[in-house]
Structure 1
Amino acid sequence: MRSTSTRAATARTTTSRVGRPAASTSARLRRRGIAAGALAAAALVALTGCGLQSAAAYAPDAAPGSIEKIDGLPADATITVTSKNFTEQLVLGKIAVISAKAAGFQVVDKTNVPGSVPVRQLMLAHDADMTWEYTGTAWLTFLGHEQGIPDKQEQYDAVRKADAKSGLTWLPPAPLNNTYALAVRSEAVKELGVTKLSDIAKLPVDQRTICVESEFNSRSDGLTPMLKKYGLERGAADGVPDSNIKIYDTGAVYTATDKGSACNFGEVYTTDGRIKSLDLTVLEDDAKFFPAYNVAPVLQTATLKKYPQLKTIFDQISPKLTDETLQELNLRVDEGGEDPGDVAFDFLRKNGFVTQP
């Protein structure tokens, strides 16, 4: 077994992109949809040709806790778990791997797959039994709809119904909703009197300063339509003048928002660990503009029929997966250098799902 320091180094290698935490980079790619997925699909073909193997296959052993060993489970009962290759997905994937092991399954670990579309292909081809997927990704990228559904339950219900035709079952979603948002430095919440997006329109024009990435700046569901939804015209002297909008790289958006010099508000992803480490406050999307990206366990329907106990396992875990929890877990990997498997085990152990073997 590799040492903890070696595993941490591997985690940093596999989850970082150009000096930025992969949680942010991959979230951006996830929202680009099919184009990004097509590139990743080509990578999957190359990997499959030589036998798909995870570059981060380590996952600690665990003994049962509230996740009990399944009575009468055959010794050779096997399930295959897959995930994408950014931090949050690696942690979620390892949570599934460790939980299934504790329940008595032999687990084939196909986490760390490059991209949303290749993971989807593994599921549709019955080459994987389980993954964690985002409702918005499935609806927009896989099912081809042009607009997401902001209501979390409606978005989940729509995806679950549609995917049933593909032989996939969506279990109840987690509270975690990895979508776009605007955030403000926490010390300015009281100073500016803002807790929700509609409050921005109440500020003097010179305080309506916003930092965003170039993609969010130009998306059909990005900054301009968001401002319109909240009664603010982009470029208007009495709305949000163009001089109030700054375009930065992802990391610089977070830093500028934290400093408050270039902008009071910055585009963020709601489960990014930097929200916690920089003490930013996410503004409530009170007009329900942003689509829902709740994560949920997705299983082969045939696998779930064969092992219905899997629903009991994931129904325990999902309610504990909140935005705040994943901010913390993502941060431990991206800034703390911990291995996703170790972080996943610690989450499961602290919640009593598994115990130390």
Structure 2
Amino acid sequence: MKHPLRILALAAMATFGATSVQSAQIVVGGGDYTEQLLLAEITAQLLKHEGYEVDKRDGMGSLVIRNAQVNGQIDVYWEYTGTSLVTYNKIDTPMSAEDTYKTVKELDAEVGITWLNPSTANNTYALAVRAANEKTDAIDSLSDLADSYNNDGGLVMAVNAEFSGRPDGLPGVEKAYSFKTSRANTRSMDSGLTYQALQNEQVDVALVFSTDGRIQAFDFRLLEDDKAFFPDYATVPVVRTSVLEANPELEAPLNAMSAKLSNTVMQTLNAKIDVDKRSIEEVATEFLTENGLI
């Protein structure tokens, strides 16, 4: 028979242990565009439901978030496998989605970052055209697009500043498909404005992200990347290894959330914000509730 004081001590330890988990603070990071803002909000609400104190810091650029996590200022955020492969680890060798994930998981472990389970959402770069435009109606692939540029088809392309300089962006596309754009036939603008420019017939081709809800809403066609230039950009929760070791309970809810994400899901969620003009907080709560995550 256990002594009453021993029982009280064990109960106190159990209570303290539960409190320590619930009071652990997790810093959730996020980027500066709709999908990243939404993923950060969903994650913050999910972890609060799990009993964590959450400090959400979003609205940052990719490199800023990455450096913040490596330096211990961000604990959790959703990264894209292709971004880590090409931008952070400087690998431009084409590889499968599975190999991309395996490679970044191994390389980022060396800087104290753990990649959890990948979702099936692949937010890769894509180039899109309007459903009805005489200049692009016969263009179905990036090879077709290259032929048009090489034959002076007069196409004007909208891109963002980052895409213009990234090795997995326009310079790489031009090299892979053997064509060249010029200042006269490109327009650089904020990411969100490329969709409006294409819809409003100000340009003929626009940079988009494959999980963006406006693709369906605006009836855009994605051009086939027939040489498989763009790497896979699987959306994955990444956690500082030291934080995960201190809070192993983080893994299960984040993996459960990852399992619910796909291209269709992300397009639908993004459209609710960008097209239907609903709040990020409301859409996040609805997603978590409908999927039984809270």
TM-score above 0.5, yes or no: yes
Structure 1 residues 111 and 73, CA gap change in structure 2 (3 angstroms): farther
* RMSD between aligned residues: 3.5
Q: 1:211: how far off?
A: 1.4
Question: Does the aligned pair in 1 maintain the 2:29–2:65 contact within 8 Å?
Answer: yes
State the distance in 2 between where 1:253 and 1:118 align: 23
Structure 1 residues 110 and 270, CA gap change in structure 2 (3 angstroms): same
State the distance in 1 between where 2:167 and 2:64 align: 25
Question: Does the aligned pair in 1 maintain the 2:29–2:74 contact within 8 Å?
Answer: no
Structure 1 residues 146 and 300, CA gap change in structure 2 (3 angstroms): closer
1:76 match: secondary structure: helix
- Whether 1:88 and 2:28 are equivalent positions in the alignment is no
Residues 243-302 of structure 1, C-alpha deviations (whole Å, 9 max, x = no match): 993435355643453356752x32222233332331212223231112333221111323
Structure 1 residues 149 and 174, CA gap change in structure 2 (3 angstroms): farther
TM normalised by structure 2 equals: 0.74
TM normalised by structure 1 equals: 0.63
- Whether 1:352 and 2:292 are equivalent positions in the alignment is yes
- Whether 1:75 and 2:19 are equivalent positions in the alignment is yes
2:114 match: secondary structure: strand
**How many percent identity over aligned positions?**
33
Counterpart position of 1:171: 116
1:183 match: secondary structure: strand
State the distance in 1 between where 2:217 and 2:146 align: 28
- Whether 1:151 and 2:96 are equivalent positions in the alignment is yes
Q: 1:224: how far off?
A: 5.5
Counterpart position of 1:65: none
- Whether 1:98 and 2:45 are equivalent positions in the alignment is yes
Question: Does the aligned pair in 1 maintain the 2:86–2:167 contact within 8 Å?
Answer: no
State the distance in 2 between where 1:299 and 1:174 align: 15
Counterpart position of 1:55: none
2:285 match: secondary structure: helix
The residue type paired with residue 158 of structure 1 is T
Structure 1 residues 84 and 312, CA gap change in structure 2 (3 angstroms): closer
Question: Does the aligned pair in 1 maintain the 2:198–2:206 contact within 8 Å?
Answer: yes
Residues 68-107 of structure 1, C-alpha deviations (whole Å, 9 max, x = no match): xxxx97133124132134222221112112222333x222
Structure 1 residues 262 and 312, CA gap change in structure 2 (3 angstroms): closer
Structure 1 residues 243 and 120, CA gap change in structure 2 (3 angstroms): closer
Structure 1 residues 146 and 165, CA gap change in structure 2 (3 angstroms): closer
Q: 1:340: how far off?
A: 2.0
Bigger radius of gyration: 2
State the distance in 1 between where 2:88 and 2:256 align: 27
Counterpart position of 1:211: 157
Counterpart position of 1:192: 137
Q: 1:169: how far off?
A: 1.0
Counterpart position of 1:54: none
- Whether 1:289 and 2:236 are equivalent positions in the alignment is no
- Whether 1:110 and 2:50 are equivalent positions in the alignment is no
Counterpart position of 1:27: none
2:46 match: secondary structure: helix
Instruction: Spell out the pairing of 1:1-357 with structure 2 (5 A cutoff).
Output: 74-77=18-21, 78-86=24-32, 87-103=34-50, 105-112=51-58, 114-143=60-89, 145=90, 147=92, 149=94, 151-186=96-131, 192=137, 195-200=140-145, 205=151, 209-213=155-159, 215=161, 216=163, 220-223=167-170, 225-230=172-177, 232-234=178-180, 245-247=185-187, 249-250=189-190, 253-258=194-199, 262-263=203-204, 265-354=205-294
State the distance in 1 between where 2:95 and 2:154 align: 24
Give unpaired runs (5+ residues) of structure 2: 1-15
Question: Does the aligned pair in 1 maintain the 2:78–2:236 contact within 8 Å?
Answer: yes
The residue type paired with residue 93 of structure 1 is A
State the distance in 1 between where 2:104 and 2:206 align: 30
